[in-house]
Structure 1
């Protein structure tokens, strides 16, 4: 059967993050992508200039339409925006029995906020218990827990354990916001895995979180176990970041190169 992954997220008009990044990552890794739009952003590589949330009713209708016809194998959740949309997504997914990758998108690469502060409680109560894999960066993990960002690997593992207690089966504590020559992502859950890579110097990192979580969902839709899907996704993202400077897109934080294995220089 065709492996189908569903992304539930916002649109990025600049094409580097959100729904657009997710569909590119699905395709690059051999999964068919379906999508449910939660919001439209007016966005480029420099800033988010406007956000229009879609109604909870149309979000729920999109989820129902996809599930009514497509044999979805895994779900990725990204930008949700407000508590009402969070509840609509939770209602649409409850009881679906599918692996869910939850990327708790809060702030764009430009620094613009994408999740209302009052929505964090709804995210914690409604969606964390449905998540197979939660993929926070260090500031997101801290905000969910009401704590300071983890300063070292020991604190990162402790925060991962605290997030597990809120319901997810696995937590991938991403280390991209840390400093130093080595970047370490820490997967905690039934097993512990450290994924280590050299830090790549580039401004073109827009959509890294979306891309990683979508790549994990693609693997789960293809029947991979969580550690295998996370390891492949981590390797894929490193390649996409390493090739990002081949692209000439915008004048701010440009996108990673989702199709680095297929086409490259001269774009």
Structure 2
């Protein structure tokens, strides 16, 4: 009955909707039962329309949901894959997989950049870096809303994790400069601290400037679109300055 109803609805869909359904099937591995959450998932806030009391219907709420589902599935996957590794190891690998840069690259690989709708005239350094990764998270949220957790898990594991991530390679190439710097400091009996120097207010985003101190002495500065990225950038500069391999 559900299949017959879906086929009846399919005949009345627009050309754009049919194209979106085909793209979703290719990316996710299954056709949507309800197209609406997927249409919202591909709609960036720059093109969102007000639906009620000035509230815009963009993909940000689905992004929030998808982020939570993705984090849980990835955590569960590596928890089972590495039963004897400690919390720090698991956290680091999960962070590498779900990082903004990683998701942005992955989204492009699987074709999310072809279905997202956004106002290209309003691009900023922040939106340019994160729009595709954010849309991928929103798409995961849409799958969860439409088909439930089990299908979301299959999508993440079978279509994202296994084909696109070599976890052993991630382990061998992990470069957490902040952790590396702190580890060096502890071995040499020194203290490391980070200090936020400035928050630059741009039109559509913020840029943070941070400095790293060793024994309260400024060593290097870094900047980024988040405090974490600014600290990592500062730590990287410090590692170079201190010649820490």
Taking CA–CA contacts closer than 8 Å with sequence separation of 6 or more, which of the two structures ends up with the larger relative contact order?
A: 1
Q: What TM-score do the two structures reach when normalised by structure 2?
A: 0.24
Relative to its length, the structure with more helix (as a share) is 2
Q: What TM-score do the two structures reach when normalised by structure 1?
A: 0.23
Relative to its length, the structure with more strand (as a share) is 1
